[in-house]
Amino acid sequence: MQTSIPDLRAEIRPMRAKSLALPVAILAFDLLLYGAATWFAITSAGTTASWLFGTAAGVGIAMLFVVGHDACHGSFTPNRRLNQWIGRLSFLPSLTPFTGWEIGHNQTHHVYTNLKGRDYVWAPFSKAEFDALPAWRRGLERCYRTPPGVGLYYMIEIWWRRLFFAPNEDPRRRIGMLADSALCLVYGAVLAAIALAIGLRPFFAGVLWPFLLWNWTMGWAIFEHHTHPRVPWFADEAEWRAAEAQSRCTVHAVLPKPLDLLIHNIMQHTAHHLDVTIPMYHLTEAQAAVEATCRNVAVVEPWSMGRFFRHLRICRLYDFERRCWLGFDGKPALDGCVWRDHR
């Protein structure tokens, strides 16, 4: 008998337990890595060293962002106010406004995962929608679904359009979003000014390159989380609810253990969508429990660069009636690619 989603959530509920010492240690390590790498990228006399330290700073931005992501969900520490301050601090290197992320991610993406018109993260166009776009936008969409283009997608479609100074109808939310956006702007301006005071190379290697690397990493991660030949999108909310797609449209891309630890287990995504209050330091345990109980709740497969390229090639446009991924020419990308609920 298939385990239900409520039963799965009940099984992993004990893993919501939060500590204080461990997350503080994680935050301190990530801040030290990012701060040291940024400092040496800006101040190193050698060109090679500058770019290597800049790359490490980009990794540090990604690690800190996952901390901020957890804190924004309220799952990093037991203290709500502390989570808010940690979230804002951890989001600064990625220039992510805390309030904008909370609205766009917590209240939109997690609530309406893979529902077209509600969830905007890597939402595919239908063939008719794609054909109606101006030529420049069709070209941009083609670019987005390429290995280097995933970073451009995140920077333009998510960070700039949805998070940074994003509009909001609620006056209280609007003030918070503007304040958090301004905080990120001030941080970025001060960091850029310090680097530019030393020279152009410190700016490019220690500020711009880490930020571009971060955008690529984030674009890649959110693509892998919910885009897969076997993962559907829905245009009808009733069908979406009936399929329990909010939790089922997730992918666990199994990474090598060192890489998984480096990005704080964020690719163990099924358990996170089942219960966002589970902290990242318990996600491995929670994901293992989910997969041992019910593997059909999501797609689970080892990650490889070849699979990533393949999914970018297959998952371009979408036929929402047949639940089928299409190429840009409108032809089905795979034979028998219509999604079926096998619960």
Distances from the Cα of 62 to the Cα of 10, 22, 87, 95, 259, angstroms: 31, 19, 13, 11, 12
How much is the pLDDT for 335? 59
**For the chain, counts of helices (H) and of strands (E):** 17, 4
In contact, 51 and 209? CB cutoff 8 Å? yes
- Local confidence pLDDT in tens for the 343 residues of the chain: 456 778 888 889 999 999 999 999 999 999 999 999 999 999 998 889 999 999 999 999 999 999 999 999 999 999 999 999 999 999 999 999 999 999 989 989 999 999 999 999 999 999 999 999 999 999 999 999 999 999 999 999 999 998 876 666 566 677 888 899 999 999 999 999 999 999 999 999 999 999 999 999 999 999 999 999 999 999 999 999 888 777 778 999 999 999 999 999 999 999 999 999 999 999 999 999 988 887 677 789 999 999 999 999 999 999 999 889 999 999 997 754 555 554 4
How much is the pLDDT for 3? 66
How much is the pLDDT for 171? 67
Name the nearest CA neighbour of 23 among 64, 57, 62.
64
Q: To which residue do tokens 């220039």 refer?
A: 95
DSSP state string for 130-183: HHHS-HHHHHHHHHHTSTTHHHHHIIIIIIIIIITT---SSHHHHHHHHHHHHH
Question: Can you say whether residue 174 is alpha, beta or left, with left for phi > 0 and alpha for psi between -120 and 50 degrees?
Answer: alpha
How much is the pLDDT for 189? 97
